[in-house]
């Protein structure tokens, strides 16, 4: 891996994200329009990227390797949880806000940021591993993650008096949210990759064309989303800095140190380490809105970790993976 090439690729992604920020700020792309575009990327172009990664690359991975990677993904989540829990407790937030801060530290933006950044670093073949990672990610986010955000919601002393504190029961949404097209395609990609199944040529080509939309589209959506974050609240919470430090540096370094003792496949190890150092999951703010969490903290965490990852990701690659 050439570190300058990686920096250039990430810089290119940030330029595209800046375009999204501009169209969001000028309201050429409204919140509702961005929400529609987000669904299109998540549920149409992203599944095509997963399939295209299987069709266009020679993936030499067995069923045993696939199960091993999924186990290592679960281990990576466990590592993040074990690091996050005691540190977040020291920040002195109430239980509900502490749950949100743990969510922000544990769950990465492995979709919108993960796919374009990791593909830029490791190539298209890495998309299969990201697809696999998203299986436990989706299951955990829409079960344990929702519980963490909505658990025993009480008033946070740093919130303003007009913040809503009612929460919705997550039980009815878990199955519906987990069984989305991206997860279904990710599951289907496993037997497709293992059996070498291919679609007719024209369908394969159509999937390839659509998959090319994912990277620029995802960065535009992310940029437009950040355009709606209230800047006054971004730097006003003392808890965001330790969350960013844990998310972007401490967790990926510890993950690398532990997993390198177990994993010999450099691509597999690299994908897991970089995913663990991705910014806070963009959906944290959406889930906070849905289930009565602190939207301002979630939005600030997404903004700051996304901004800083342009420095931390190349640093992690240089220090740990080259």
- Spatial neighbors of 129 by CB under 8 A, at least 6 apart, are 69, 267, 268, 271, 272
What are 263-313's pLDDT values in tens digits?
999 999 999 999 999 999 877 877 776 677 777 788 788 888 988 988 999
For residue 132, give every residue at least 6 positions away whose Cβ sits within 8 Å of its Cβ, in sequence order, or none: 66, 69, 70, 73, 186, 190
Tokens 């959906």 map to which residue? 283
Token readout for 269 is 């190890």
Q: What count of other Cβ atoms lies within 10 Å of the Cβ of residue 62?
A: 10
- Are 6 and 121 a contacting pair, CB within 8 Å? yes
pLDDT the model gives residue 225:
82
Distance of alpha carbon 170 from alpha carbon 31, whole angstroms: 24
Residue 79 confidence class, pLDDT cut points 50, 70, 90: very high
Q: What is the pLDDT of residues 87-140, one digit of tens each?
A: 888 887 777 688 899 999 999 988 778 888 888 888 887 888 988 898 888 888
Sorted by where each starts, the structural domains of the chain and their CATH numbers stand as 3-153+164-321 (1.20.1530.20)
Alpha carbon distances (Å) from 65 to 61, 129, 194: 6, 11, 10
Other residues' Cβ atoms within 10 Å of the Cβ of residue 29: 23
Of residues 109, 128, 114, the one with CA closest to residue 49 = 128
Q: What is the rounded average pLDDT of the residues 169-175?
A: 55
Q: How far apart are CA 119 and CA 154, in angstroms?
A: 41
The answer to whether residue 80 scores a pLDDT higher than 80 is yes
Share of the chain above pLDDT 90, in %: 32
pTM: 0.81
User: Largest Cα–Cα distance in the chain?
Assistant: 59
Q: Which residues pair with 280 in a beta bridge?
A: 108
Residue 197's pLDDT band (boundaries 50, 70, 90)? confident
């Amino acid at each position: 891996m050439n570190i300058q090439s990686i920096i250039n690729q990430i810089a290119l992604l940030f330029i595209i994200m800046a375009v999204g920020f501009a169209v969001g700020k000028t309201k050429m792309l409204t919140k509702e329009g961005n929400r529609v575009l987000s669904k299109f990327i998540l549920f149409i172009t992203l599944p095509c990227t997963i399939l295209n990664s299987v069709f266009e690359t020679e993936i030499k991975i067995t069923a045993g390797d696939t199960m091993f990677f999924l186990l290592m993904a679960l281990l990576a989540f466990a590592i993040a949880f074990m690091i996050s829990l005691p540190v977040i407790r020291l920040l002195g937030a109430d239980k509900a806000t502490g749950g949100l801060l743990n969510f922000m530290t544990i769950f990465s933006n492995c979709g919108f940021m993960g796919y374009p950044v990791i593909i830029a670093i490791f190539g298209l073949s890495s998309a299969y591993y990201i697809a696999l990672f998203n299986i436990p990610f989706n299951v955990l986010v829409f079960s344990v993650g929702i519980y963490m955000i909505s658990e025993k919601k009480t008033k946070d002393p740093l919130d303003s008096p007009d913040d809503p504190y009612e929460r919705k029961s997550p039980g009815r949404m878990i199955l519906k949210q987990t069984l989305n097209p991206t997860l279904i395609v990710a599951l289907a990609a496993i037997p497709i990759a293992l059996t070498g199944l291919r679609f007719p040529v024209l369908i394969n080509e159509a999937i390839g064309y659509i998959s090319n939309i994912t990277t620029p589209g995802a960065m535009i959506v992310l940029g437009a989303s950040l355009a709606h974050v209230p800047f006054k609240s971004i730097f006003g919470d003392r808890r965001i800095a330790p969350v960013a430090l844990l998310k972007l540096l401490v967790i990926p370094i510890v993950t690398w140190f532990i997993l390198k003792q177990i994993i010999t496949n450099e691509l597999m190890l690299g994908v897991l380490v970089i995913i663990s150092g991705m910014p806070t999951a963009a959906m944290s703010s959406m889930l906070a809105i849905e289930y009565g969490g602190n939207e301002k903290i979630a939005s600030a965490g997404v903004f700051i970790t996304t901004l800083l990852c342009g420095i931390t990701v190349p640093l992690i690659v240089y220090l740990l993976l080259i």
